[in-house]
Chains A and B, each alone.
Chain A
Amino acid sequence: MTALVVDHLVVRFGGLDVIDDLSFSVRAGERLVIFGPNGAGKTTLFNVITGQLHPTAGRVLLFGQDITAASVARRVDLGLGRTFQIATLFPRLTVLESAMLAVQAGAPHRFVMHRAVHSYAGTRRRALELLEAWDLAPRADIETRRLAYGEQRRIELVLALARRPRLLLLDEPAAGLSAEETAAVVAMIREMPRDVTIMLIEHDVDMALQLADRVLVLQHGRLLADGDPTSIRHDPQVAEVYFGAGRG
């Protein structure tokens, strides 16, 4: 089954083609890492897939459905989840409240006005489970803004996972983390069940290659290379564009 199809996608800002006739598809269950230098169009691609940005031309299909014009909420209902490059959290909500808010997003009671949030035992249990899984349970009652950076990055993942997405887009989930924290995040992502398809933007080559089944390399909004991690590592073209800066 195909999780995602990107079909002749074009995103133009002014005169600049940030994404220039890009096509690829992602199999269900795949771990796809997207490489590319700054400005290659990686985050723009994510924004188009999640619906924050509308493409100039082309189509996006999510699990077989054309979502090119669908609202963000509709895409989430179809099983799309994402994290942001810069942690975008709820600073003055506690960790548990944030998690409950994310779990409740898919629940029929999200518009209820006359009952306390905490009385929804199922929502609360699922939120606590997520916090437990990501080692955040001891911080449940602390305001998000008071947490350390590494913990905030983990909340970012909790929020993205709360609605059990089938396709998860991770925009540099380990950015700014220590080596130890990065290793923990990599381990968590590796442990995620295979019924979740994962697309990952990552600059850290080692981390990316540990996680990837397949690597796409973007440059100037176009596909430069598409293959398994080993072949990408040895692709001279990729080495020039992507790893070249390190050598030069």
Chain B
Amino acid sequence: MMADVHAGGGFRRQAVVSAVVLVVLAVLAVLAALPIAGDAYVLGVAARMMVFALFASSLNLVLGFAGMASLGHAVYFGVGAYTAAKLSLAGVSGFGLQLGMAGLAAAALAALFAPLILRASGAYLLMITLALAQVVWGIAYGWREFTGADDGLPGVRRPDSMLPWDISGDAGFYYLILLLFALLVAAMLVLTRSPFGLALVGIRENERRMAALGYPVGRYKYIACVLAGGMAGVAGAMLAWQNGFVGPSCLSVAYSATALIMVILGGAGTVFGPVIGAFLIVALENVISGLTERWMFVLGATYVLATLFAPEGLVGLWRRWAEHRS
């Protein structure tokens, strides 16, 4: 009988879930079919979309699930990118090694920063994350021998993979990105539905109550920071391969803000929201930059419109519409 109680109202939910599954499969099918057209430019844009979707998703883990804002999340993205680039330039070409080291380096940095970040909340949280990121940006910008300063590190090569297909060509490399993208989004789906994920949402919703229930709130937030940092680092390595170049801009506040806008536009605290947000923003960037130099202005306007008309993001908007209709 208890099972029946919970099944109440389940029909509509099931219909929504099937609709989401269909859309996800359709998007994956389109992404998988893209190389058939063979246009290198389109493949590049699609790969960039997926890289930024992972970057935004990693921010979403702390912002949308654990409820901690950040204006410095690009620091992990950039450190991952630099790590992959340095390894590549040093002749370490293994794909797993580059990806793993990029993730570890970024996660280690997050583990170092997290104790400082966890002390702050509200506006101070934004300031401390911004300040920490700016320090690392300053190092990347200033240390010419190691990071190439504002010239960055050109000549990053795509890694060797142990995959059964060749990734030196555009299509092969694109499939590698698609595979990583699909795996990591699937991992996010699993994580956010786990006991750990539910506890993060609980902390976002009511931190004091979580503490009163006996949850070690600080430890959860710490783990979330480290996981998010590591995931951003992995995305950063993918960016380095995709661009063949790493510069200090990928550590910059502009990148942090872009990720923030992607998460908010798509819908914070949902798995697919940041993916949708990243896809839209990257697509918009490619269209707009052909028309005007003022991309940052367009990005800002997008942000203002999203917060005014879709404060819970596009996913939130869609949910409200679906609710209204039923």
Contact = CB atoms under 8 A, between A and B. Distances in A.
Bound pair (A, B): yes
Interface of A: 50, 52, 72-73, 76-77, 82, 84, 88-93, 96-97, 100-102, 104-107, 109-118, 120, 125, 128, 132, 137-138, 140-141, 159, 162-163
Contacts of B195: 104, 107, 109-113, 115, 117, 120
Interface in B1-51: 2, 5-6, 8-10, 13
Contacts of B216: 73
Contacts of A96: 6
Contacts of B202: 90, 93, 101
Interface stretch (B123-131, B151-159, B204-212, B256-264): B204-212
B316 to A, nearest CB: 11
Interface stretch (B186-194, B246-254, B302-310): B186-194
Contact of B209 (A88, A92, A112, A128): A88
B201 interface: yes
Given A101-B199, A115-B194, A110 B215 contact: yes
B214 A76 contact: yes
Given A92-B205, A128-B2, A138-B8, A112 B194 contact: yes
Contacts of B212: 50, 52, 72, 76, 82, 84
B198 to A, nearest CB: 5
B86 to A, nearest CB: 30
B206 A89 contact: yes
Contacts of B205: 89-93
Interface of B, secondary structure class, is helix
B214 A105 contact: yes
Contacts of A89: 205-206, 209
Given A72-B212, A132-B2, A138-B8, 17 more contacts: A72-B211, A72-B214, A76-B213, A77-B214, A82-B212, A93-B202, A100-B198, A105-B210, A110-B196, A111-B199, A112-B194, A114-B191, A117-B193, A117-B194, A137-B5, A141-B13, A163-B214
Given A128-B5, A138-B8, A112 B196 contact: yes
A140 to B, nearest CB: 5
A128 to B, nearest CB: 5
B197 interface: yes
A116 B201 CA distance: 14
A98 to B, nearest CB: 8
A115 to B, nearest CB: 6
Contact of B201 (A77, A93, A111): A93
Nearest to A145: B205
13 contacts: A52-B212, A72-B211, A90-B209, A91-B206, A93-B198, A101-B199, A101-B202, A101-B210, A101-B213, A112-B196, A117-B197, A120-B195, A140-B5
B62 to A, nearest CB: 15
A141 B201 contact: no
Contacts of B206: 88-91
A131 B9 CA distance: 17
B198 A97 contact: yes
Nearest to A76: B214
B117 to A, nearest CB: 20
Sorted nearest first, the 8 A-B pairs with minimum C-beta distance are A76-B214, A90-B205, A105-B213, A113-B196, A73-B214, A88-B209, A137-B5, A113-B194
Q: Which residue among A73, A109, A128 has the maximum number of chain B CB atoms within 10 Å of its CB? A: A73
Given A76-B213, A132-B2, A138-B5, A110 B199 contact: yes
Nearest to A169: B212
B272 to A, nearest CB: 17
Contacts of A120: 195
A104 B198 contact: yes
A212 B5 CA distance: 35
A103 to B, nearest CB: 9
Q: Which of B190, B191, B197, B215 has the most CB of A within 10 A?
A: B215
A142 B87 CA distance: 51
Contacts of B198: 93, 97, 100-101, 104, 117
A132 B10 CA distance: 19
Contact of A141 (B2, B6, B208, B211): B6
B214 A106 contact: yes
